């Protein structure tokens, strides 16, 4: 179902944002640079049923737990994890 949805709404970036692609391709071909300090934050909230983010929020919540509607806290962690803020993905991107 996820692949079909991605293909239906795809821009080239969407297919590169799946967990499979990030873990099995991107991360392996893009190693950390030892001279760079990496920091990250995550976001989590309870997305209301009327939000367009509700459907992806529920899928991600079932598979990876707390999330912002598009990105799980687990997958947002890279380098030194600075913490989790309470907001949805659109709040983070100022939409």
Confidence of residue 17 (pLDDT cuts 50, 70, 90): confident
Q: How far is CA 50 from CA 9, 15, 27, 46, 59, in A?
A: 20, 26, 34, 12, 15
Q: Which sequence spans correspond to the domains of the chain?
A: 1-31, 35-94
Confidence of residue 47 (pLDDT cuts 50, 70, 90): very high
Cα–Cα distance for residue pair 7/23, rounded to 1 Å: 20
pLDDT of residue 65: 97
Residue 10 has pLDDT above 60, yes or no: no
pLDDT of residue 71: 93
pTM of the model: 0.78
Q: How many Cβ atoms sit within 10 Å of the Cβ of residue 85?
A: 13
pLDDT of residue 3: 64
């Amino acid at each position: 179902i996820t692949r079909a949805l991605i293909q239906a709404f795809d821009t080239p970036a969407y297919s590169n944002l799946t967990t499979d692609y990030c873990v099995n391709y991107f991360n392996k071909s893009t190693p950390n640079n030892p001279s760079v300090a990496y920091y990250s934050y995550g976001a989590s909230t309870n997305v209301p049923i009327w939000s367009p983010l509700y459907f992806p929020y529920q899928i991600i919540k079932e598979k990876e737990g707390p999330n912002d509607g598009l990105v799980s806290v687990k997958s947002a962690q890279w380098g030194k994890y600075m913490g989790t803020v309470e907001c949805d993905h659109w709040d983070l991107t100022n939409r």
